[in-house]
Structures are given as structure tokens and as C-alpha cells.
Structure 1
């Protein structure tokens, strides 16, 4: 057995739980105790979250008697240990069946390894379905923009030509509209086909070293729909009962998730809605306007209606209506990944909440309307909205809310050609509702952060001497080889309520990494936590090690480059792949890491394992519901590494996780013959108790604050 790792610093909060360490062969009761111990109370969240605006709102909601996610989490204690560890199967009506040492098999005969693998596969398929629904909407928007069936503009034709070239489409003599239709048809086919065929998109976009490996492993998917279909078929009553077969389907589904519902979606979104553009902005709840302004929150993932609202919100016709109800202005605010799409594109729309904190934004009482579509819009928002004048409006038949106003794109998209009429109707409801605002009920924390955003792959390539046609970023490769940048780490995933203090782990890890010269990219809800912590502004260079500080100050960029919403993990993976290309190395040889500190939604399973299949070591502090199976843990934590060059790493201590990452980066550097310098893990006082001056209270530091 390997000697137990020694760490420079131990997290006081994690160690205070006195949770047993995971070890192979431990009893189920010990595993359940491990997970139960790693929970935190609402008071601990208030005391230790890095997002002080959330802490203030949780306290305010308690005072006002308004429940939220943290209250409901405490009411669930103790959560079912069988479910927490994955030792429960509820697929068929024989069950639910729970297995342990005394009763090791379900009624149908499954052991714990098969149960855990089946649960994981179905969760992965569910996450792919969610991103697939998002993908379908974007692909249809792209096709409608091309064939003229809806008044959707093509905002970045240059990206359309670039994507067509990458896919090997014949563009000669064709208009950009025709090319958009062809790209959309290709992506839609990848989404839905039933007949096996060469996966042209995957082989065109993936690094050749990776696609060749996946082909040898037999995990090239047929289509997203088929792999979702097959995942549910394979795990259905009395069908597949082979662990290895389950895991092969798992890896195949990960690739369908990655290349059909994420990579293609991100590319199509850029074509229709435009590339990210550099901008400076305020974020967090303190950026909400209190007086004389109609406030509308946009929450969810599907962009069609959201961007239509954005296109018309400042037009003279709308502003005339705003003035008529006595307001001076009307503003949109982003929540969750629609907010991530907005802030990247220099639209002047502040980001105020991630998925798990959207209830806190609603509880400010400052919103006339919250417009939601699908995914990560928690149902707990509705009773909060009812405490105020706030109207909740749903725009997707996949994401209705009990008691909300329904103004949606038809299930069959028959009204897509009237999308701007729909957007105006939504704005009219919000504008009229301004008359019902009760200013006495408004409570907005005076806390916000300044950020600089808009880091597309194209912009990062421009900054670091890259070539998009050659798929190489030479400057980053040189800086890595010289040692000014120790490595690159991408942060994605969610903010979890269970197993972590909300918005703490990712901030601790990111601050430790930039302190030790690691350049960070970030996206999705976890990336939003880094924005709210003030790490995505050039002034955060003061928190960096000397090498990284020299680089970011010379370029006047932040040490954390925010690359967008959840599907924009595409950009982070491209930055890594293009840097590896420039260094002449495959991904697994490079000092790269993926950090999904607090995964929650089903989609995050696909996101994490997509990076692993691309050869990037991946780290989490919150365990999936898989701890009951040593075989599953061994497969994803050990067996995957010789297969694909990377694996999953789990440690609930964020300080130790940061050190694990730094050790891994240094091992990769040493193997490449690149210089390795000592790292230093910062203390709690430095990392958590010192708030950077990019986070301010009671001051306005952007024109649009």
C-alpha cells in the first residue's frame, strides 16, 4: 500500500466533520457515515461561503420567514444512505431494492457494482437529454436563421465559415445562409440518427490521437438519441447484467454528450448569437438596480427567447412603454447559464446568480419578472416569487412551473417565426407589473464584484500568439515550457448544497492555483462562483504567483479567463488541445486539470468524464452517489488512467485537492523535462479571510452599475 500522502495544510472545516476516509472494503454503514458527516448547516454556509451576498440573503430570508434550498436541505436530514451511496435500485416495480453486506443482491439478482453502474449510466443519459434539448433548440435556430423560416439573424457569419471548414463541408459558391443550413443538418443528424455511420463530426473536431484511441476502445457513439435510448434499454428489466458492458456504454454516452450536445451546441450558438467580446461588468446581487428601473431576470439554458428579448429590450418602442409606467430604465439580469451566455457577449447584462442561488435573487423583491426556460430552474423559486409582486414567465414547454405565466415557443415550434412578438409580450407583462412593486420589500445586498469577460478561443489565441486554422496556441505552450505558467486548470460544474459549503470549494482551489502560477479558465455555475469572488478581473493579478502575475499584467487580463456557459467547456477543451498541439504533445502529457469542485446536476457527470476521455485529470470535492461500489470507484479512479490517460480524483478537502492538482501538474512537467518550482499552499487567513479589492461593498466601479 502506498504511504499516506502528506499535505502542507489541512482544511479546518473539512477535518472538523471527523468523517472516515474512503477505503476499499469498508462497510456500507461506514460509507454512509462518510457522506453524512460531510454535510454543513445553514449557519455554516452563512459563515463560510465565499459569496457574502448569498450569506446576507440567506439570513434575510430567514428573518422574513422565506424558505430556500438550504432550509429544505436541512429538512431532508438524514438523507437516505442507500441512495446517497448508490446502493439502491428503483428501476422496476420489483423494488426499490437496497443491498448491503447482509443482503448483497436485489430481487432480480443485481449486486452493488451493477446497481451503482446502472444508476450512474442513467444519470449520465439524463444529463445528456438535458443538454440535448438545449442543443436541439440551438440547431433549429441555426437552420431557421439559414433558411429564413424565422427572423433570427446570423450574428457571426465568420464562425459559420470556420465551422464549415472544420467539418469539411464544401462551401464553394454557397451563401452563408446555405452553409448554416448544412451545418445545422449535420448537427441534427448527429443528434438523432438511428443507423450506424461514420461519426464525421467527432472525427473532424476531436484531436486525432483521441479519436483513434476511442475507436480502438469501441466507444464511438451512433448518436445522442441512440445512446440515450440504449442506456435506458441496457439498464432496463432483465437486459444487460455485465459491469464491463455497462461501463463501455457509459464511456460511449460520454462521447455522445461531449461532441453532440456540448461541442456542436457551443459552435452553433456562436454562429447565431455571436462570438464573445471583451467587456467589463459588475456581477452579483449588488449589481441589481433598486430605483426607477424595471428589472427582469433571465434564467435557464435555451437561448432563443432569451436573446430575442435582449435584441428588443432597449428599442424606442419598449422604452416608450417603460416611461409610461413611471420608470426611467429597463434592465435584464442573467442567472445560471443563460446569464453566462449574456455576459460573454458584451450586452451590458449583469450576472446575479447561479442555479442554486437564484431563489436568493428573487427574494430581493426587486424583479418585475423572472423569465425561465429549461434546466436548473429550481421549483423552489415559485413560493419565493409569490411573496413579492414578481411574475414568473415560462417560455419552454419542457420547463413549465406550477402557477407561472405560460408564454412559450410551441412544442412543435410552429410559432418560431413569431419569436419577437413573444419577446415583446413578455416585456409588456414585466413593464405593467412595475406598478405593483413594493419598495419597502426590496432588499439588495450591497456586494458585487468587477470582472472582465469575453474570452473566446479566438481571443485567447490572439493574446497568446495562436493560429486558429492550425489549431495551435504557441504563446501558451512557450509559457508552460518556460515555467512562467505552471499549468492550465479549467473550472466547470455546479454549486452543490450537499457535501460542501456553497461557493467555497471552487474559490479556495482557484485561489491556491493562481497563487502557484496556474492559469485558470472557467465556465458554467462553478465559473460564476469565481466571478463573484472577484478572480476574473486584471486587478486580481495581486493574488497570483510571480510568473503568472507577470504574464497577466503584461497582457492586462485576469488570471481567471471566463469562457462562458456550461456548454462552453468546449472553449476550455479547445484551449488545452491547441496548446498541446503547439507543444507537440498529446493532452495526457500536458500539465492540465479539470476542476468540478461541487457537481450537482446530472449534466455534470458527462462534463467531467468528457475531460477525462480527452486525457485531462479531473478533480471533485463532492462525491457522486457511487460510493457503495469499490469496483466502480476503482474503474473511474484507477482503471481509466491507463486506458485514456486520465481519471477521476475525489477529496472533500479543497486545500488538499489544490495540492493534489499541483503535484500532478509538477509530475507532468517533470516527465516533459520542463522546469519544476516549489509550490506553497496558502493558509485560511490568506485564501478565505482576505477578500480581494475586486470585490467591493457600497461602491460603483463600472459605468453600468
Structure 2
């Protein structure tokens, strides 16, 4: 059954709706299997939460002190302290943003510190991204002179580390070198140039404590400031640092989906966000010692599969198959064929351990920030990297030995295997199209109408992966090129939209170009932090066109916003002048049209409004940065909204 939420002008799916609408046949197969086995998953827990709290859904619940929690309504429009709806909602949003910022900041910290450890000889890591080192050194004004690679890399890493932690009133260095000049002037005029991830997180939490800031417009400015710190401290920092460590990806064909697992092989899934420990584990798995161990326990070989952003990282660099995303992790374990899941930081839901215990799967945690009761804990500590090799070997051995304990009576691996082309870095996208100017000419002449980045998490409030796939199919059919990252990318990868053959699903112009170039119409550009690759693409194309970024036919689409990190992603693009189309309304109260007083007919309606909605979706934010938020939970209507937005941008530019 569908759960109706009139306060949001939307509905939520029950389990039967997910089964009917989720686009991957393997997912349906595993949901039905787990249901018959009475294994609890997120779908069951979601239904147990119905009906959801209307105050929480609309951002009208304040828990920022011990006086409450306070629930705001027409009857009680202010909390106990006197805070009103506007400051409560904006405070909740900006706090969510910096929580997500903190997650990506820890990711950035780990990879940056790993570069320093490698340069100091404390970690046995080879820096594979030499070209990124020299590029950043030049952009950051570092005098490389006769310096060797490791010394130059360390100096770059120290600048990135300073961007994470600076407390003085200086701008983020990566913002200075990568942001468009027009945007920097806009942000300067708004007073939202950030200092660092650490400072803006501290300031946001300070501003939203009891008795601090109650001016919602000041909180809105802090949101923009924090989003820029999120973008340039943590996304750019972690993405660039990872490319220094492990190299810049290049396009390659590979296989994805649940069917990549094999009954007679050790199946190890890697999950999380930071690839440092996993890269070393892969190295150990390839050694004769671990390969021999696999044969000793009765396996014919070892299959590595990815989940979430760690999976995206390995897919991009090595073509290692991915399986699924945050809401699919329990389904993957439902195959009964997963011997171990190696997890690092973030998006590892507690429910995975519940399902793992039903099938005897080992969960191995490798990050001190992520502890799961009952899991094996073998952490990578960037402050003590000397044990990295030994720890990685222990993880590899533990994962392989789990094969001997597998209950083969519970195995069922769906057959679905999908071809995909992955590894789309900023550089490789431009190279594939024959350069920046060639891609721009295709956009200007209408062969490609525009670019949408379709990204983000999963959310049980919409049918699993249905919106992501439906929107993407509709957009490529309308000749709109797509980039994708993170959990959303898994849905599009498994649906075949990232394969060159998907050109047949695209419109005449986009399809023809993709066939000529041998590329897909949906480009998987990496994990969440690699949204920087799309942003760099947008910035570069706007520069080539001689047009402000806010005027280009680009848009950010988040069909299933879920994790707090998705707030920062969306607002990062908004700050650059790229409008958002978000798939589910929350945590902003939706204005519901009402009959006017003394209405003469059912069509005589008041629009319905509130200050926060007017700020994001009306003229408030648009007047500041040239972008706004569209909210549309129904995917075909969302795709139409995106097409309309891009058409209007083209029309204003005269690109018809």
C-alpha cells in the first residue's frame, strides 16, 4: 500500500510498491527471497515507522537544546526559547549540511594524511597520480624547483590539510584556484567566502546553539558559506588527494550487478568511502599466499565486488565490478554467497549486520570512526600507518577463511550481469569528446541540449532506484547528457545506462554522438566526492562559452536525497549558480494550495507559501546566486521540469 502524506503533497511506497517498481530484476528477486525467509530489511523497518512524524518531515521539530524537543505549528508557532519556524527549519538544514561536511572532511583527512605518510616513508604506498601532483603544485604556487615527486606531493598535501583546518580569516586555497572569477566576486559580495571545513562546522554549530542566532537569513548565509567549505575543503580536497594516491581514472569496459558473484569463489564485498585500506587489501589478495589460501579452503578463486563509493572508486580505477548501493547492501547479503564485507567509513547501515548474521557473513570494519557490535575490527589509523601492510594482510586472510564457514544451502545469486563503461575523470570526458571546444559546440548547436548531473543517495520514501532510472532514461531521450556519482550511479550502472549500447536509448543527437565516439549517454564519474569532476566540467564549459555558470544549460538532480551529505552536494551546486531538482520534499514545509476565503469555485486557490520555500524555490536564493530548487517527487514530472529548465537556459542564450 502507498502511504499518503498530504502535508507534503506526496506519498511513500510500501514494500509491494517497491517490488512492483524497482527497475533491477535482481533486486526484486532478493527482496522476495529475504521476505520468504523472514529476514528483516530496511523495507520492513520503514513500514514499521509508518506513519512518520509530520513535524520531523517538515523540519518543524527542534532538538537543539534540553528544553525541548519543541514542535512548531499554527497552535504553537514558537519554541520554548521563542525561536520561530524559519530559524528552526534553516537551523536544521544547515546543521545537516555540516554533519555531511564532517563526513567528507574525515574522508579527506584520511587520504591527505596518507599522502604525507607515504612521502615520509611511514606508509608503504606508491603515489600513482604524478600528473595531479605537478598540476596542483603549479596552481597553488608551490615552488617545485628540483624537488622530487614525494616532496612536492607532501607540500601539496599540507596545503589541502590547511584548507580543512584553517582558523584565520583567509580563503580556501582550492577555492581560489578552481572557482570561477565571477562566482568569487558574487560570494565576496554576499560575504560567504569560507575559511575551512573545521571553522565553518564550528561556526554553524555555534550559531545554532541555544540562545545564539535566531535570524534565519544569517543562517541561510552560513549555509552558503558552509556549502563552499564543503565543496572546496572536502570534495575537492579528497578527490584530488585520492587522484594523487591512486591515479586519475581512464574509461574502461567492465561488468556490474549482483550476478558478478560466484558460488564456487570467495566473494568479498568492499563498502564505504575511503579507498586507502581497500587498495592495500587488493594488493594482498593478489599475492600467491592469499591465492593459495583460497584454494586450500576449497574456492576456485576470489571475486571482489564493490558497494557504495568505495565500490565506485575501484570501479573507476580498475574496472572492479560493483554490486549495489546503500539501500541494496542488505539485499546483496541475501544472496547467501557473500563471505565477508570489508567496510570503512560512512553509509554502512547497522541493518547489514542483522542480515549478515542470518547468513554467516563476516563484517570487517577498518575505520575507527565506524564500529559495529559483533564485527571484526582491524582499523587503519593514519596516525600510525606503519602497520598498514600487516593489517591489510590480516583482513585479506580473514575474509578468505570465511569461505569455509559459508552455509551453501542458503545460496542464491541472481543471474543479472550488466556491461558498463566507467572511469570518467574530468580529463577523460573532455578527451572523449575531442576537447572542451568540441563538446561546447555540440551543446551550442543543440546536438546535446545540456548536461544534468543525476546523483545522490537512496531514500525509502520513493520506490527503490525507480526515480533515478526513470529520470535518467527520460533525460537522455531528450538529448541531455548525464554524469552520475555515488549511490545513484549504481542504479544507472545496473540498469545498463552506463554502457555504450545505451546510446540506442538516447535522442537522435546525443545517441548519434555516443555511437560515433563509442561512449554511453550516462557517464559514471566516481564516488560522492567526485562530484568535483562534474563541477570542473561545468566551470570549464562556461569559461569556454564566455558565459556565467549560472546561465549555462546545466542542472543538479537528486532523485532520492537521503544522507546528510546530499544537502551539501546540492547547495554546493546552487552556490555556483546551478539549480537543483530534488526528488522528495523535506525538510522544508511544502506550501499546499488552499481555497481562498469566500472562494466561488474549487479552482479559486491561494498559492500557499512560507519564507523558507520562497527563499529556496522563489526569488530569495535566485537573486543571490542565480539558482533555485525545484522539488518534484514524481520522476516523469521531474524529468519534464529538468527539460523545461534547460530549454529556458538555452532560449535565454539564443542557443536554439
1:393 aligns to what?
364
**1:548 counterpart = 2:510:** yes
**1:463 counterpart = 2:432:** yes
1:176 aligns to what?
149
**1:105 counterpart = 2:113:** no
2:571 is aligned, of 588, 609, 623, to 609
**1:474 counterpart = 2:437:** yes
Distance in structure 2 (CA, Å) of the matches to 1:228 and 1:400: 23
The aligned runs of 1:525-536 (5 Å cut-off) are: 525-536=487-498
The aligned runs of 1:477-626 (5 Å cut-off) are: 477-498=440-461, 500-626=462-588
Query: Contact 1:112/1:628 (CA < 8 Å) preserved in 2?
Result: no
**1:448 Cα deviation from its structure 2 partner:** 2.5
1:336 aligns to what?
308
Q: 1:621 to 1:628 in 2, by over 3 A?
A: closer
2:379 is aligned, of 408, 412, 416, to 408
**1:52 Cα deviation from its structure 2 partner:** 2.0
**1:39 Cα deviation from its structure 2 partner:** 0.5
Query: Contact 2:542/2:549 (CA < 8 Å) preserved in 1?
Result: yes
**1:459 Cα deviation from its structure 2 partner:** 1.0
**1:522 Cα deviation from its structure 2 partner:** 0.7
Query: Contact 2:297/2:403 (CA < 8 Å) preserved in 1?
Result: yes
1:644 is aligned, of 613, 625, 630, to 625
Query: Contact 2:172/2:233 (CA < 8 Å) preserved in 1?
Result: no
2:317 aligns to what?
345
2:413 aligns to what?
444
Shifted more, 635-644 versus 132-141: the winner is 635-644
**1:414 Cα deviation from its structure 2 partner:** 4.3
Query: Contact 1:145/1:180 (CA < 8 Å) preserved in 2?
Result: no
1:68 aligns to what?
41
1:322 aligns to what?
294
1:683 aligns to what?
none
Structure 1 unaligned regions, length at least 5: 1-12, 21-30, 467-472, 676-705
**1:199 Cα deviation from its structure 2 partner:** 2.8
1:356 aligns to what?
327
Distance in structure 1 (CA, Å) of the matches to 2:4 and 2:298: 57
Q: 1:249 to 1:55 in 2, by over 3 A?
A: same
Q: Secondary structure at the match of 1:345?
A: helix
2:402 is aligned, of 433, 438, 460, to 433
Q: Secondary structure at the match of 2:192?
A: coil
Instruction: Write the deviation string for residues 486-521 of structure 1: whole angstroms up to 9, x where unpaired.
Output: 1111111111112x1110111111111110111111
Query: Contact 2:67/2:80 (CA < 8 Å) preserved in 1?
Result: yes
1:380 aligns to what?
351
Query: Contact 1:167/1:205 (CA < 8 Å) preserved in 2?
Result: no
Q: Secondary structure at the match of 2:225?
A: helix
Q: Secondary structure at the match of 2:206?
A: helix
**1:174 Cα deviation from its structure 2 partner:** 1.3
Distance in structure 2 (CA, Å) of the matches to 1:129 and 1:556: 39
Q: Secondary structure at the match of 2:644?
A: helix
Distance in structure 2 (CA, Å) of the matches to 1:275 and 1:282: 20
1:116 aligns to what?
89
**1:17 Cα deviation from its structure 2 partner:** 7.3
1:55 aligns to what?
28
Distance in structure 1 (CA, Å) of the matches to 2:33 and 2:185: 55
Q: 1:525 to 1:324 in 2, by over 3 A?
A: same
Q: 1:634 to 1:463 in 2, by over 3 A?
A: same
Query: Contact 1:395/1:406 (CA < 8 Å) preserved in 2?
Result: yes
1:419 aligns to what?
388
Distance in structure 2 (CA, Å) of the matches to 1:274 and 1:313: 20
**1:317 Cα deviation from its structure 2 partner:** 2.1
Distance in structure 2 (CA, Å) of the matches to 1:216 and 1:125: 23
**1:212 Cα deviation from its structure 2 partner:** 1.6
1:5 aligns to what?
none
Q: Secondary structure at the match of 1:455?
A: coil
Distance in structure 1 (CA, Å) of the matches to 2:168 and 2:180: 25
TM-score when normalising by structure 2 = 0.95
Q: Supply the RMSD in Å over aligned alpha carbons.
A: 1.4
Distance in structure 2 (CA, Å) of the matches to 1:537 and 1:44: 28
Q: Secondary structure at the match of 2:336?
A: coil
**1:464 Cα deviation from its structure 2 partner:** 2.2
Query: Contact 2:433/2:517 (CA < 8 Å) preserved in 1?
Result: no
1:698 aligns to what?
none
Distance in structure 2 (CA, Å) of the matches to 1:198 and 1:448: 47
Query: Contact 2:4/2:12 (CA < 8 Å) preserved in 1?
Result: no
Distance in structure 1 (CA, Å) of the matches to 2:500 and 2:196: 42
Distance in structure 1 (CA, Å) of the matches to 2:69 and 2:281: 45
Q: Secondary structure at the match of 2:360?
A: coil
2:197 aligns to what?
224
TM-score when normalising by structure 1 = 0.89
Query: Contact 2:197/2:229 (CA < 8 Å) preserved in 1?
Result: yes
1:660 is aligned, of 634, 641, 651, to 641
Query: Contact 2:339/2:406 (CA < 8 Å) preserved in 1?
Result: yes
Distance in structure 1 (CA, Å) of the matches to 2:308 and 2:174: 28
Structure 2 unaligned regions, length at least 5: 592-609
Distance in structure 2 (CA, Å) of the matches to 1:266 and 1:95: 40
The aligned runs of 1:80-95 (5 Å cut-off) are: 80-95=53-68
Instruction: Write the deviation string for residues 191-247 of structure 1: whole angstroms up to 9, x where unpaired.
Output: 112222243221111111111211111001111011111111100011111111111
Instruction: Write the deviation string for residues 14-69 of structure 1: whole angstroms up to 9, x where unpaired.
Output: xx87765xxxxxxxxxx2xx36x511000000000112221211111000110100
Query: Contact 1:52/1:447 (CA < 8 Å) preserved in 2?
Result: yes
Distance in structure 1 (CA, Å) of the matches to 2:4 and 2:85: 26
**1:628 Cα deviation from its structure 2 partner:** 6.4
